């Protein structure tokens, strides 16, 4: 069945239905990963590239299996700490997977895995110049966001919390502000999502998508958790489109009282 036009997601030159992106690391097995992706209805998966494994038999088998899933591959530069490393890894991803898409990571702090703002912008500028469709992993900082947009990025991936922490959305105010400031930029919450409810919260804010890895891969049942996240992202998106009622201080009866008879005991 073809999804309604309102449900389609135009991203990076592709028209997709699912707004859930899944990472491919830390799953118990390749078979479990494949089943989790299918259960989630996910259409984009991220892959961390390592130069030293490019010619290894195991790495080649993994990448071949990913291609067989029939999903859009988003190579990423996870673990890179310099602009040169990020550029080299991005070029490798473009060659192997024949895609200009790249999730750009340039890590500045080993403890929080927070992206390095200055090097991130520098790398984004160069990759955009080289014709890449850059998905930069960033914080919720407005100034960095503006620099990335000026560099040519039409997609931003602000974190919800540190990678793998499962803390959810640590700074909802900043995330809402970022969404309001950039209504025409695709925003995908990346990192820190630990539960389907976190994904729902992000989508209800109006975010365009959510990227999840650890919360699915390390779940007791990754396949069921993948399905749960797929449903959560869809639910949150529908709720955003439907329009939630605003919060208020006072109670308001759901049943009108006008015209209701009042009985008085004599």
- pLDDT of 1 higher than 80: no
Q: List CB contacts of 110: < 8 A, sequence separation 6 or more.
A: none
Beta bridge partners of 45: 22, 73
Does the active-site annotation cover 195?
no
Percent of the chain with pLDDT over 90: 70
Q: How far apart are CA 41 and CA 125, in angstroms?
A: 33
* Catalytically annotated residue among 67, 81, 84, 103: 103
- pLDDT of 177 higher than 90: yes
- pLDDT of 251 higher than 90: no
The H or E element containing residue 72 is strand 72-76
Helix (H, G, I), strand (E, B) or coil at 75: strand
pLDDT digits (tens, 9 = 90+) for 210-249: 999 999 999 999 999 999 999 999 999 999 999 988 888 8
For residues 186-207, give the mean pLDDT: 96
Q: Count the neighbouring beta carbons within 10 Å of the beta carbon of residue 176.
A: 15
Helix, strand, coil content of the chain in percent (nearest 5): 40, 15, 40
Residue 262: the pLDDT is 58
Q: Which of 29-33, 187-191, 228-232, 252-256 has the lowest mean pLDDT?
A: 252-256
- pLDDT of 100 higher than 90: yes
The H or E element containing residue 233 is helix 222-242
- pLDDT of 134 higher than 60: yes
- pLDDT of 127 higher than 80: yes
Q: Count the neighbouring beta carbons within 10 Å of the beta carbon of residue 11.
A: 22
pLDDT digits (tens, 9 = 90+) for 164-175: 899 999 999 999
* Average pLDDT score over the chain: 88
Q: Which of 185, 108, 110 is nearest to 152 (CA)?
A: 185
- Per-residue pLDDT band at 116 (split at 50, 70, 90): very high
Report the length, in residues, of the chain.
266
The dihedral of CA 57, 58, 59, 63: what is its sign?
positive
- pLDDT of 118 higher than 80: yes
Q: Count the neighbouring beta carbons within 10 Å of the beta carbon of residue 158.
A: 26
pLDDT digits (tens, 9 = 90+) for 197-214: 999 999 999 999 999 999
Residue 51: the pLDDT is 42
């Amino acid at each position: 069945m073809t999804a309604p036009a309102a449900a389609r997601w135009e991203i990076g030159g592709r028209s997709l239905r699912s707004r859930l992106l899944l990472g491919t690391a830390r799953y118990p097995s390749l078979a479990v990963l494949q089943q989790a992706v299918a259960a989630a209805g996910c259409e984009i998966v991220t892959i961390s590239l390592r130069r030293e494994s490019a010619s290894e038999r195991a790495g080649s088998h993994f990448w071949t299996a990913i291609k067989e899933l029939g999903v859009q591959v988003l190579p990423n530069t996870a673990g890179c700490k310099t602009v040169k490393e990020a550029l080299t890894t991005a070029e490798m991803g473009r060659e192997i997977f024949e895609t200009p898409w790249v999730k750009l990571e340039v890590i500045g702090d080993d403890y929080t895995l927070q992206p390095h703002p200055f090097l991130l912008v520098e790398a984004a500028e160069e990759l955009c110049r080289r014709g890449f469709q850059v998905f930069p992993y960033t914080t919720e900082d407005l100034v960095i966001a503006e620099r990335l947009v000026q560099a040519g990025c039409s997609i931003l991936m602000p974190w919800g919390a540190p990678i793998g922490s499962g803390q959810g959305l640590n700074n909802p105010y900043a995330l809402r502000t970022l969404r309001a400031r950039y209504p025409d930029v695709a925003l995908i919450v990346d990192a820190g999502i630990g539960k389907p409810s976190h994904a729902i919260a992000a989508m209800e804010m109006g975010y365009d998508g959510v990227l999840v890895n650890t919360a699915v891969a390390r779940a007791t049942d990754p396949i069921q958790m993948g399905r749960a996240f797929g449903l959560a992202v869809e639910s949150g998106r529908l709720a955003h489109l439907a329009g939630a009622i605003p919060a208020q201080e006072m109670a308001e009866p759901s049943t009108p009282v006008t015209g209701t008879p009042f009985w008085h005991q004599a």
